[in-house]
Amino acid sequence: MNPLTHPARRLRRGLSLVEVMISLAITSMLLSAIAAAFHSSTQVITENDQFFRATQAARVALNQMLTEVRRADAVSARDQNVANFTVKGITSTLLPVSRPIVSQSSMEFVRYYRYDDTAHKLMLYFQDPNGNLSAEHPVASNVQVAPFSWDTALDKDGVPYVTRVSIAMEVAVGNNRIRISGSAVPRRSVKYE
C-alpha cells in the first residue's frame, strides 16, 4: 500500500496566496470597523463627561450666586464711588454682590461675577476695601450667553435699587445644550413702606 495514495494518509496542502490575501483583506476591514466604532464611542464618552462637568459647575455656580444675592447687603444698581474707588453696578455680564461684613473675608469688600464672552466662562473676583481687584477664578465654563438680568425700583429718595436678580445660563458642549435659571431678591435691600 502506497502512503501517498491512501485516503487517510494524504498530505495536507497550505493556503494559496489568493486565499491568504482574501483573509487579510477581510481581517483588515473588520479591524478598521472595530477601530472606528471604538473611536466614536470614546468621543461620545468624552463629550458626555465634559457636558456633565460643565452642567454641574453651572448648577453649583447658579446656586452659589443666588444664595449670595439673597444674603447680600446690596446689589449695586449703578456705579458708585465709595471712599477712593468705584464699585461697579450690575450689567448683563457683571453681577456685583456686597456681602454682609460678617461673611466677608478680610480682603473682600465686593464680590463680582463676570461673564467672559470670548472664553464662554463665568469668572469670580473680589474688590478689597482699598479698591484693589483680585485675580479672576473660573466658576463655570461653556456658558453661551450673558446670564444676568435684573429689576429695579426707586426708594423714597428717588435712588434706584435692585429688587430682583435673574440668572439664566445656557451651557453647551458639542450638540448637548441645557438652560438653567433662577432668580433671587436681595432681602436686606427690600424696602417696606
Instruction: Enter the C-alpha cell of residue 126.
Output: 473680589
Q: Do 87 and 79 touch, CB atoms closer than 8 A?
A: yes
Whether pLDDT at 98 is above 70: yes
The pLDDT of residue 5: 59
Tally the residues of the chain.
193
Q: How far apart are CA 168 and CA 181, in angstroms?
A: 4
Rg (CA), the chain: 32
The pLDDT of residue 125: 94
Whether pLDDT at 189 is above 90: no
The model carries a pTM of: 0.76
Instruction: Give per-residue pLDDT as tens, 106-123.
Output: 778 899 999 999 999 999
Instruction: Enter the C-alpha cell of residue 37.
Output: 466604532
Instruction: Give per-residue pLDDT as tens, 1-46.
Output: 555 555 555 666 777 888 889 999 999 999 999 999 999 899 889 9
Annotated domain spans of the chain = 43-189
**Mean per-residue pLDDT, 158-170:** 90
Burial class (CB in 10 A: 0-12, 13-18, 19+), 96: buried
Whether pLDDT at 182 is above 90: yes
The pLDDT of residue 114: 96
Instruction: Give per-residue pLDDT as tens, 53-95.
Output: 999 999 999 999 999 999 988 888 888 887 788 889 999 999 9
Q: What is the 3-state secondary structure (H, E, C) of 39-72?
A: HHHHHHHHHHHHHHHHHHHHHHHHHHHHHHHHHC
The pLDDT of residue 6: 58
The pLDDT of residue 7: 59
